[in-house]
Structure 1
Amino acid sequence: MPTMQAVLLTAYGSPLAAWDHPLPPVPPHGALVQVRACGLCGTDLHLAAGELAPLFPLPEFPWVLGHEVAGVVAELGPDARPPADVAEGSPVAVYGPGGCGDCARCTTGHQQLCPGAGGWLGVGRAGGFAEYVAVSDARHLLPLKGLPAEQAAPLTDAGLTAYHAVRRALPALASRGPRGAVVVIGLGGVGSFAVQLARLLAPAMVVSCVRRPAELADHARRLGADALAGLADGPGCLRDLAPGGEVDAVIDTVGTAESMKLAAAVLRPSGRCLVVGAKGGTVSLGVGSPDVPFETELSTSVWGGLTELHDLLQLAHAGRLDLGHVRRYPLADAARAAADLKAGRIRGRAVLCP
């Protein structure tokens, strides 16, 4: 049986390590992609630790994580129908959520919510911490058009998740124009893209809210933030920064109890809060809740649609995004990459490069 190098998780809580692993077969309607870069993000650490097992139980062990993939099409399946500009040998980004293509969610552009997708890449289907990854449907391959793989890979999740959340925040900002304000909590992989995309897509003031504002001030302003605040500063400080003293939308890329309570409390009545971070936070929602203003729209926001990834790659191709600092690691150093990420030693994105 042909084999490849892959980073395997042998049990929840076990260290990531590279081993020989069977080469996946080519899906009939999909492709085998030679991985050139796969992003390592906080979600991977939570999955590996078993912290997300109640929501996303891994199918088996050993398991191959990794959902931010860019590479080269090694082989197309016999029944594959790729996009017109994708063929064997094409550099591509991989759309990780998949999607059946036929259900109501897929046909309305919400493939990440498809109930019949067979699982997300790296979660329900073997992922990209390997030399090769199987892609179930060739429709999920997007041409890179000269974009380096290590910069494109984080766009497929960190960038796409931010883009989807910012687009969902826009209705709350539409009526106020330049007097509107959006707060982005967190400035990690998703938060860095959210600040940039809010600056590009919304006519509003963009406020970056982080735990260590003194350390991140230059970074936030370079990405397009108009103002910076600390998580500990409280809702009054954030409202004071906003035009007219009102915040219309919040994108919380952290998702702790602290960040979610701040996100809800700072909003004007009928504002919109999108929670992206998955760190177990909750708030009390109900009429008369001390946490949430009247008629606030409080929603989770998960990954993004296939068309949205196309749009995001177009922004990257046009040079409109700061793709940030990427730290490359070989597969053999996956455990070191995970330790660096957990310890906060990575500014930008860690990328495993076979």
Structure 2
Amino acid sequence: MKALTYYPSIPRFLAARALGKRFPSSWAPLRLVELPEPEPPPGWVRARVRLAGICGSDLALLFGKNSPRLSPFFSFPAVLGHEILAELEGSRVAVNPLLACAERGLEPCPACARGEEGLCQNVAEGSLAAGMLGYNRDLPGGWGGWIVAQPERLHLIPDGVPDQRAVLAEPLAVALRGLRRAFAKGDGYGFPGSVLIIGAGTIGLLSLALLRALGYRGRLDVVARHRMQADLARKLGASGVFASSRNALENIGAKEYKPILGPPVYRGGYEAVIEAAGSPSSLEAASWATREGGTVLLLGAAGEVRHDFSPHWFSELTWKGSYTYGRADFAYAVGMLPELNGLEELVAPPFSLPAWRHALAAIRQRRVVKAVFTPSNP
């Protein structure tokens, strides 16, 4: 099968950091290679990939934005792609890509025992190399023709859900998990009176759609830097869409102060802010856009950044970080797909694997929100 494989290289990593913005695909350490179709281990199944998304974490890896401190928990070279819609015996399935204790032949760690495989203590232990599907040298991810998985990791897509909505199941589970961590109370949700989402990429827009689907009717504003993102945010139920957090804070009536150095700071912002962009500037903006005593939900993978922590303690903010999902989060996200009409508008027409440079350029040039691959294998 043909597969897009990431080959780590320190010189290319440094080149991608330095030149990735100017040459968005030239320095990406990817190769389209021919690999044998994977053989499923005993008790596993093999599924044909229909669509596989390009995630922000994939881009961070390709363009040198990931923290090297996380390197023990992934293994390369690897076929990338962890947002996977596959087909098994004629049925469409969303693939939970986690490789936790069960897949590694280990007794459940405390996190896995309570269904929180995203917090598995053994992601670099056991019979498999470190990392989940898409970041694992032993098993291929979705940027190829086939994947193998345990049957428990495959979730049937409900009838009537288009493929380009179904391929969003994995990032939808990420957003759902984050919202649950930030706002769940008892058997329901204790939503704040006002929420600002900074970043209108896939995770930001999915968070917006989920909040509305979960019943949040309060003020829900979005910072979107690009017109396509802004249009989608309005369609998905944003109360207001702003070009910057400063514009959003002015609109909500926060008071601006000018420090002796640096950009303005604020008092009286939003009760909760979802940071979904994963950049130094968005992290800084989220810190000051949150009202005193409020909550910041970190869904953007910011990596290594220099950051002023003054508002964390000065405004007594609660910070919640979220990375993947638990078993129930993924299943619940798949079950919500039928009611999330319009999400497929986030997904551009699929790119073939040989067109990977065009796919990366389209993302970096903000011509698409979500790019996906369709395997070229028959």
Smaller-chain TM-score range? 0.7 to 0.9
Structure 2 counterparts to residues 143-222 of structure 1, below 5 A: 143-146=156-159, 147-156=161-170, 158-171=171-184, 180-201=193-214, 202-212=216-226, 216-222=229-235
Which residues in structure 2 correspond to 1:320-331 (within 5 Å)? 320=341, 322-327=343-348, 328-331=350-353
**What's the offset of the Cα at 1:114?**
0.8
Distance in 1, matches of 2:190 and 2:82, equals 36
The 3-state SS of whatever aligns with 1:262 is helix
TM-score w.r.t. length of structure 1: 0.82
Query: Alignment length, in residue pairs?
Result: 326
User: Residue 259 of structure 1: CA displacement?
Assistant: 1.2
Map of 2:3 onto structure 1: 6
Q: 1:197-346 to 2 correspondence within 5 Å?
A: 197-201=210-214, 202-212=216-226, 216-231=229-244, 233=246, 236-237=249-250, 239-240=252-253, 246-279=269-302, 280-285=304-309, 289-290=310-311, 292-320=313-341, 322-327=343-348, 328-346=350-368
Residue among 141, 155, 160 paired with 1:142? 155
2:93 match: 92
- TM-fit CA distance, 1:45: 2.0
> Unaligned stretches of 5+ in structure 1?
74-87
Tell me by how many angstroms 1:215 deviates: 5.8
Please tell me the root mean square deviation across aligned C-alpha atoms, in Å.
2.8
In 2, Cα distance between equivalents of 1:107 and 1:344: 41
**Is the 1:256–1:282 contact (alpha carbons within 8 Å) kept by the matching residues of 2?**
no
Name the SS of the counterpart of 1:272 in structure 2.
strand
2-structure distance, mates of 1:152, 1:176: 27
- The DSSP-based 3-state class of the residue aligned with 1:206 is strand
Aligned CA distance change for structure 1 residues 296 and 235 (closer, same or farther; 3 Å): farther
Equivalent residue number for residue 78 of structure 1: none
Structure 2 residue ranges without an equivalent (≥5)? 13-27, 103-107, 124-129, 256-266
Deviation at 1:185, TM superposition (A): 0.7
1:34 equivalent among 48, 56, 81: 48
Using the size of structure 2 for normalisation, the TM-score is 0.77
Q: Deviations over 1:229-284 (max 9, x none)?
A: 23252674264289x95522111011222211221212222211111212334544
**Partners in 2 of 1:153 and 1:350 — Cα distance?**
11
Distance in 1 between residues matched to 2:191 and 2:176, nearest whole Å: 21
In 1, Cα distance between the equivalents of 2:314 and 2:118?
30
2:114 counterpart residue number = 108
1:145-203 Cα offsets, whole Å, 9 max, x none, are: 333334312221x21221112222325996676xx011111111111101111222234
How far 1:127 sits from its partner (Å)? 1.0
Provide the rounded CA distance (Å) in 2 between the counterparts of 1:241 and 1:223.
Answer: 25
SS in 1 for 2:209: helix
